Structure 1
Amino acid sequence: MGDLETDLLVIGAGPYAYAAAAYAGDRGIATTVVGKPLSFWREQMPADMYLRSGPDWYLDANREHTFEAYFEDRGLDPADHDPIPIGVWLDHADWFAAQKGLEVDQRLVSDVTQPDGRFVAAMEDGSSISAAKVLAAPGVGFFAQLPDWHVRVPEDRRTHTVERVGFDDLAGARVAVIGGRQSAYEWAALLCDHGAEKVDVVHRHPKPAFEKVSWGFVDAYVDQTLAHRGWWRGLAPEQRTGIAQEFWEVGRLTLEHWLVPRLRPDVVTTHAECSVTEVTGEGPVTLTLSDGSELAVDHVVFASGYKPDIDRVPYLAGVREQVAATDGFPDLSEGFETSLPGLYTVGFLATRDFGPFYGFTKGCPSAAKIVVDEMLR
């Protein structure tokens, strides 16, 4: 047994954890949440970035304490916060936690085991928590992806976007941004805002469009996931591919129009349909591109995204052998349960079995409802 006992232990304190813990509390499950509240959003995202989503994306599975309700309660006009600054979103998350009575134990878990039918989480301070069920909600910060050649860039001259949250040290610098999605171009804009001399954005796909788009197409897919257990995995492969392509085109090949005025043409150059073929140098670093051009840069920012891999969640090492996984994804039931009974996971690790939208906050309320209802089946 542990120093503390609970019915449900939620490991993580990000959006998916908040949504699930709040709904579990609403359903009468004694729940303990451990982790640093919204630490990825507070510490690994720039303070002056904006969200791609709008106030229609919320956390409450009961649709009561929504983002729109937050704006109303605070007396704020959403039109004055379009796009939404990350600070407003964080204030909303704190408001949501207060409304739901969520209290987060800010200790961290070092390991989870199951010695006697119950889970035991060993905490970094030497204490432990015993739980009948565990919901792991690791953020994407665990899963930063880098190209193989990144090691040829000196360590002090490279960062992934997950680490690069300040830009003042790159004022006057020549920077290459590797990647072509929203984070790549938003980090390029932030580099412009903070005085970078030159920014080269290098990516393999065509240059994205910068247009106002609607994420409304996702609503029907989330509704289907709620209405039909296992909906995503029950689709024919070509249907899943088609939806993933639609998601890619709207979310990846079309970026936010509000970036354009900040991407100064005298600073930012796009190298579309290019890749890095060679890296040389220690002082400035020279990147040779597939089109034969060369870039002399002072720093390389990798906006190369994230790749799910359960092996990179350190606190699950003690139960990892009992959890079946394929290509880094845990094999999940229709209710987000792993092959180890009583252990569930939501968020990025669930995107193979539930669809790409479950790597975004859009999926939080429906994931919360599905996983908690599964626990109560």
Structure 2
Amino acid sequence: MDTEIAIIGAGPYGLSLAAHLRGKGLNFRVFGSPMSFWKDNVPADVPLKAEGFALNLFEPERRFTLERFCRTRGYAYARMGVPVPASVFREYGEAFQKTCAPEVYPFKVTHLSGSEGCFTLTLENGHVVRAARVVLAVGIGHFAYMPPAVAHLPGKKVSHTFNTVSFGQFRGQRVAVIGAGSSAVDTAYFLHKAAADVALYARRSKIWINNPPQDIRGLKRLVRSIKKPRSGLGTGWRSRLACDFPDVFHLLPARLRLLITKKHLGPAASWFTGQTVREEVPMHLNMTLESATDTEDGLRLEFRNTLTGELQSVRADHLFTGTGARIDLARIPFLDKALLAAIRTEDHMPVLSGGFESSVPGLYFIGPAAAGSFGPLLRFAWGARFAARRLTRRLARATARGQHVRAAGSHAGGKPGDAATGTECFAS
């Protein structure tokens, strides 16, 4: 089970990287259940905000596209304007894995330790794997943010919107949803469809809902493309620059990088679910949750109106928090404490080199955890191509160096581990 490269995570980033490493003939293994976040944390029917062309996974020849998959399976598809259900994206990712990245071991990593040249992974089945280099492609599953005001509530009465994929059990119940982003709006939509008595509460003064795509032609289309160019993150010059120049973003001062990453592309909701919520679900804006108490009559939620200062008491049987994710490496449960302490961070995110390497040589991060270093591009599936291509080149060079050192050590009678290149992981 020893391997040169271990990839932890089998979502869009991990699978795209695996497909590129496979194309180079490198020795690697992927650990994790393919597309597990999309299967266990996202309702199957939720329409994804990204356009069809921006939901591809990436292999070197760009043949296994979402478009080709949908045509083969008979699913509706368009580059723009036809929402892709989460179930279709998940199914596409699973098919991509079987075809382009079969080197997946569907076991969770329960512990990761080690340092430069040799890392040890313990799997949930008890197996131990040694790797010269490790890539963390863990997505956002570990980073759901729960407001402090609800931390003490019993788990059966409060849920993060990441953690529920079916809503029939809430039929007839009083349900409050807090948040102004897509996950909060989507959850309110599905609760409404399930005949729950649902209301949405948000600190913001407005809930942003994307407009349906418009079919614009001729000169008007040309003007719009210049004023608001399209990219894999949406329309506008900021998104286009984030897609095209992640290396420029990497050179910015840390404070500016982190601010842009946090603020750009705020929590706008999908037009598909947002229109129904806007028309049929009560929305209470400028409301901040101050306290939550579990009583015999259900939850008592105290909201304060940020404009008037008035306090409003709300009764609910269940509370959903659509409060998003906050990247914090300390919340990755399998990271060894000594390894965690050795990783340099900014705002709890790893500080990465231009090749995605952390301050621990041989330990890499891709996906949302890398957004602090490379910008908003890494928060979306569209960034998987950039990450896979860049990191594959770096890992190919590192692997070649390690093989050269091992060969030189063998001919010269050197001892394993003389150089920090992974030789200690492959000593016989």
TM-score past 0.5 threshold: yes
Alpha carbons of 1:343 and 1:238: their partners in 2 closer, same or farther (altered >3 Å)? closer
User: Which residue matches 1:233?
Assistant: 250
User: Out of 261, 275, 278, which is 2:291 matched to?
Assistant: 278
User: Which residue matches 1:357?
Assistant: 377
**2:327 equivalent to 1:305:** no
In the TM superposition, residue 246 of structure 1 has moved relative to its aligned partner by 4.5
Q: Distance in 2 between matches of 1:367 and 1:117?
A: 22
In the TM superposition, residue 338 of structure 1 has moved relative to its aligned partner by 0.8
Q: Distance in 2 between matches of 1:296 and 1:350?
A: 40
Q: Distance in 2 between matches of 1:241 and 1:128?
A: 40
User: Which residue matches 2:416?
Assistant: none
Moved over 6 A (4+): none
On the 8 A contact 1:16/1:368 being kept in 2, the answer is yes
On the 8 A contact 2:186/2:274 being kept in 1, the answer is no
Alpha carbons of 1:346 and 1:204: their partners in 2 closer, same or farther (altered >3 Å)? same
In the TM superposition, residue 244 of structure 1 has moved relative to its aligned partner by 5.8
User: Out of 214, 236, 245, which is 1:224 matched to?
Assistant: 245
In the TM superposition, residue 323 of structure 1 has moved relative to its aligned partner by 1.7
Alpha carbons of 1:206 and 1:125: their partners in 2 closer, same or farther (altered >3 Å)? same
Gap regions ≥5 residues in structure 1: none
Q: Deviations over 1:164-195 (max 9, x none)?
A: 22211111011111111000010000001111
Alpha carbons of 1:208 and 1:316: their partners in 2 closer, same or farther (altered >3 Å)? same
Alpha carbons of 1:116 and 1:365: their partners in 2 closer, same or farther (altered >3 Å)? closer
User: Which residue matches 2:282?
Assistant: 269
User: Which residue matches 1:333?
Assistant: 353
> Residues 178-197 of structure 1: matches in 2 within 5 Å?
178-197=178-197
On the 8 A contact 1:157/1:299 being kept in 2, the answer is yes
Deviates more, 1:99-108 or 1:18-27: 99-108
On the 8 A contact 2:143/2:326 being kept in 1, the answer is yes
> Residues 120-159 of structure 1: matches in 2 within 5 Å?
120-159=120-159
Q: Distance in 1 between matches of 2:98 and 2:126?
A: 29
Matched AA of 2:330: D
Matched AA of 2:204: H
What is the DSSP-based 3-state SS (H/G/I as helix, E as strand, rest coil) of the residue aligned with 2:163? Answer: coil
Q: Distance in 1 between matches of 2:45 and 2:75?
A: 19
User: Which residue matches 1:203?
Assistant: 202
Deviates more, 1:85-94 or 1:179-188: 85-94
**2:308 equivalent to 1:289:** no
In the TM superposition, residue 216 of structure 1 has moved relative to its aligned partner by 4.0
Q: Deviations over 1:267-310 (max 9, x none)?
A: x2111121012334412222222122221111110111111111
On the 8 A contact 1:110/1:121 being kept in 2, the answer is yes
In the TM superposition, residue 263 of structure 1 has moved relative to its aligned partner by 2.3
**2:329 equivalent to 1:315:** no
**2:255 equivalent to 1:247:** no
Alpha carbons of 1:316 and 1:279: their partners in 2 closer, same or farther (altered >3 Å)? closer
On the 8 A contact 1:61/1:366 being kept in 2, the answer is no
Q: Distance in 1 between matches of 2:75 and 2:174?
A: 39
In the TM superposition, residue 129 of structure 1 has moved relative to its aligned partner by 1.4
Q: Deviations over 1:293-345 (max 9, x none)?
A: 22111111011111111111122215223222232111111111011111101
Matched AA of 1:136: L
What is the DSSP-based 3-state SS (H/G/I as helix, E as strand, rest coil) of the residue aligned with 1:304? Answer: coil
Q: Distance in 1 between matches of 2:177 and 2:370?
A: 28
User: Which residue matches 2:424?
Assistant: none
Q: Distance in 1 between matches of 2:146 and 2:375?
A: 23
**2:84 equivalent to 1:78:** no
On the 8 A contact 2:174/2:316 being kept in 1, the answer is yes
Residue correspondences, number: 364
In the TM superposition, residue 116 of structure 1 has moved relative to its aligned partner by 8.4
User: Which residue matches 1:347?
Assistant: 367
Alpha carbons of 1:69 and 1:265: their partners in 2 closer, same or farther (altered >3 Å)? closer
Q: Distance in 1 between matches of 2:115 and 2:179?
A: 44
Deviates more, 1:152-161 or 1:21-30: 152-161
Q: Distance in 2 between matches of 1:325 and 1:55?
A: 34
Gap regions ≥5 residues in structure 2: 214-229, 306-310, 398-428
What is the DSSP-based 3-state SS (H/G/I as helix, E as strand, rest coil) of the residue aligned with 2:111? Answer: strand
Task: Give percent identity, aligned residues only.
Answer: 28
Q: Distance in 1 between matches of 2:27 and 2:314?
A: 56
On the 8 A contact 1:61/1:369 being kept in 2, the answer is no
What is the DSSP-based 3-state SS (H/G/I as helix, E as strand, rest coil) of the residue aligned with 1:293? Answer: strand
Alpha carbons of 1:358 and 1:289: their partners in 2 closer, same or farther (altered >3 Å)? same
Q: Distance in 1 between matches of 2:142 and 2:256?
A: 30
On the 8 A contact 2:150/2:291 being kept in 1, the answer is no
**2:45 equivalent to 1:48:** yes
